[in-house]
Amino acid sequence: FTNPETPGYVGFANLPNQVHRKSVKKGFEFTLMVAGESGLGKSTLVNSLFLTDLYPERHIPPAADKITQTVKIDASTVEIEERGVKLRLTVVDTPGYGDAINCSDCYKPIIQYIDDQFERYLHDESGLNRRHIVDNRVHSCFYFISSQGHGLKPLDIEFMKALHNKVNIVPVLSKADSLTLPEVKRLKRRILEEIQANEIQIYQLPDADEDEDEEFKEQTRCLKESIPFAVVGSTQMIEVKGKKVRGRLYPWGVVEVENPDHCDFLKLRTMLITHMQDLQEVTHDLHYENFRARRLQSKDGEPAPAMDSGGNTRALKEKEAELKRMQQMVQQMQAQINAQTKSSPPGKVMSHNL
């Protein structure tokens, strides 16, 4: 890991500020999906984000294979521990997206993947072992937009619209090192306008609370202004002025991934870490609830567990009656024990209890 003293460093160790200590002990479960065309630098960025090589054995298909390649979904989980805080991070990569010539259906498996995780959660939630549900729901999706175009492509629009009711979309402008600063600014503005014009709901960072300190408020404002985050990814360490930094070496100089003057990489990471809990909450309260509501309404789906249909009401009544019987039994036993306690000397009861 990088030195925690690095200015602007926001690591997982800061997570406990967000949540209860119990979750710290148990660890965090977070699923991040990266989507967008192939070759936009998704895997490189993910590796830079978590400073771990998630895909050591990744096979890059040769060009001839690419044309018929369908979307293959690839989930990798890493356990990252930083200063005693555990994070179980799953990254869902969609490597071949956009490679096939016919793309109109290529996001369907991605949507299916998200729904499958909701379905699994719904199933587990209505099961007996509710305390130990593994949460594999996709909490955020970094949607990569090419910096080589003039804005969103029709497929980007189509995809994000299919996705926005299911997951927190965070738009990312890839390979920002190929643009000058004014170009980045212009393209960002253009992308935001197109997102708005097409009524795409991206993840909205919540405003900082009034009682937060000024620094945090300023940080939130700055993060909001940076969307879509213009990023640069690299898996290489390069020496700059005697310091090893993650960067891309060009004949004319080095682009430093973690230099805020060079790109928004640090902002994206800060956003993810400082809003991890909010992303989880929005996933649960909004996207998952939407899914549940749709699922309960769907006629051809299996009978929903929480649905108050005649049959379920009956089952509920039977359960209640059983519970009452059990309560009565417990009361009777309690009364017997009390009676015994009164009639026998205390020492005897004690030894009996032991």
Binding site for ligand GDP (CB under 6 A): 38-44, 95, 175, 177-178, 232-233, 248
* Distance in Å, CB of 196 to ligand GDP, minimum: 26
For residues 43 and 220, which CB has a smaller minimum distance to ligand GDP in the complex?
43
**Measured from the CB of residue 154, what is the shortest distance to ligand GDP in angstroms?**
19
- Our CB check for ligand GDP shows the closer of 13 and 34 to be 34
Q: Which residue is nearest to ligand GDP (CB)?
A: 41
Q: Which residues contact 242 (CB under 8 A, 6 or more apart)?
A: none
C-alpha count within 13 angstroms, C-beta hemisphere, residue 259: 15
Q: Report the nearest approach of ligand GDP to the CB of residue 230 (Å).
A: 10
Q: Among residues 76 and 312, whose Cβ is nearest to ligand GDP?
A: 76
Residue with smaller CB distance to ligand GDP, 29 or 37: 37
Query: How many CB atoms neighbour CB 7 within 10 A?
Result: 7
| Closer residue to ligand GDP in complex, CB, 135/177 | 177
Q: Which residue has the tokens 């890493």?
A: 78
C-beta closer to ligand GDP: residue 122 or 179: 179
Rounded least distance, CB 40 to ligand GDP, Å: 4
Cβ atoms 288, 137 nearer than 8 A: yes
**Shortest distance, CB of residue 181 to ligand GDP, whole angstroms?**
15
In sign, the C-alpha dihedral spanning 346, 348, 353, 354 is positive
Nearer to ligand GDP, 248 or 269 (CB): 248
To ligand GDP, the closest distance from the beta carbon of 41 in angstroms equals 3
- How far apart are CB 148 and ligand GDP at their closest, in Å? 10
